[in-house]
């Protein structure tokens, strides 16, 4: 039994992994992990190293091996397009590997809708084609609010793809429109067989992309991590 951690910029997600089965933990603390006996901890971290060290102590798991994953030139047949492979965010790399584990010999578009919205393309020969990084829903709103005079708004998670009739609605709905538009533009630029959508804002975006070949998968990064355990 393994503990898998995805430490992002704004939150940490945790999964219990055993015999090919993923169990998502709603909370990560001493009480939530107490019933389990882990062999090791596998970590994907795009935040500060101190976050990993802190979790080792707060979870009482300093006695276990902790494996910190990094992006590679190639793994499991998947080839990284970056000239400096380790500069590709490990969350993006693992999401690509996760998507590849579900569908091979297909052209894939992998969208991770978190603090930032990342889009990556993987072709049917497992070659990473490149990607985009775009501010996520909350970051887009904060950018407008902080850098525009007299907006008088606050970031909000209640976006709808409708026209706003006040400034706050215009800002939050505009952010949603921008991300949906970016995904559509990406698919028009380089169409794929499937668009994998993961991350905290994925369900919200998916409801406005129903005409595209979208497949929601909240475990995509963890599927990528699990491939390293199998080796």
* Residue 219 pLDDT class (50, 70, 90 cuts): very high
91 is catalytic: yes
Handedness of CA 19, 51, 219, 228 (dihedral sign): negative
pTM for this entry: 0.93
Gap between the Cα atoms of 223 and 100, Å rounded: 9
Looking at beta carbons, which pairs linking 10-18 to residues 24 or more positions away fall under 8 Å? 10/114, 10/115, 11/200, 12/51, 12/55, 13/222, 15/219, 15/222, 17/222, 17/225, 17/226, 17/229
Q: What is the pLDDT of residues 133-174, one digit of tens each?
A: 999 999 998 888 887 756 656 666 778 888 989 888 888 899
* Residue 217 pLDDT class (50, 70, 90 cuts): very high
Handedness of CA 112, 113, 115, 117 (dihedral sign): positive
Q: What is the pLDDT of residues 51-104, one digit of tens each?
A: 888 899 999 999 999 999 999 999 999 999 999 999 999 999 999 999 999 999
Which of 6, 91, 100, 112 is the catalytic position? 91
């Amino acid at each position: 039994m393994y503990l898998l951690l995805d430490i992002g910029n704004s939150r940490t997600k945790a999964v219990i992994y055993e015999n090919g089965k993923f169990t998502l933990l709603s909370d990560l603390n001493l009480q939530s992990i107490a019933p389990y006996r882990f062999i090791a901890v596998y970590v994907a971290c795009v935040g500060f190293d101190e976050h990993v060290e802190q979790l080792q102590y707060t979870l009482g798991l300093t006695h276990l091996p902790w494996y910190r994953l990094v992006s590679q030139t190639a793994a499991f047949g998947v080839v990284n397009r970056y000239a400096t492979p380790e500069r590709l965010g490990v969350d993006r790399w693992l999401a690509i590997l996760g998507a590849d584990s579900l569908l091979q010999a297909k052209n894939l578009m992998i969208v991770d809708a978190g603090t930032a919205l990342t889009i990556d393309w993987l072709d049917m020969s497992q070659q990473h084609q490149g990607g985009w990084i775009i501010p996520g829903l909350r970051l887009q709103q904060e950018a407008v609010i902080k850098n525009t005079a007299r907006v008088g708004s606050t970031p909000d998670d209640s976006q709808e793809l409708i026209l706003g009739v006040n400034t706050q609605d215009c800002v939050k709905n505009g952010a949603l429109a921008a991300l949906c538009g970016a995904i559509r533009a990406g698919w028009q630029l380089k169409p794929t067989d499937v668009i994998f959508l993961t991350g905290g804002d994925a369900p919200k975006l998916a409801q406005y992309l129903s005409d595209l070949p979208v497949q929601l998968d909240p475990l995509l990064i963890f599927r990528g991590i699990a491939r390293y355990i199998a080796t």
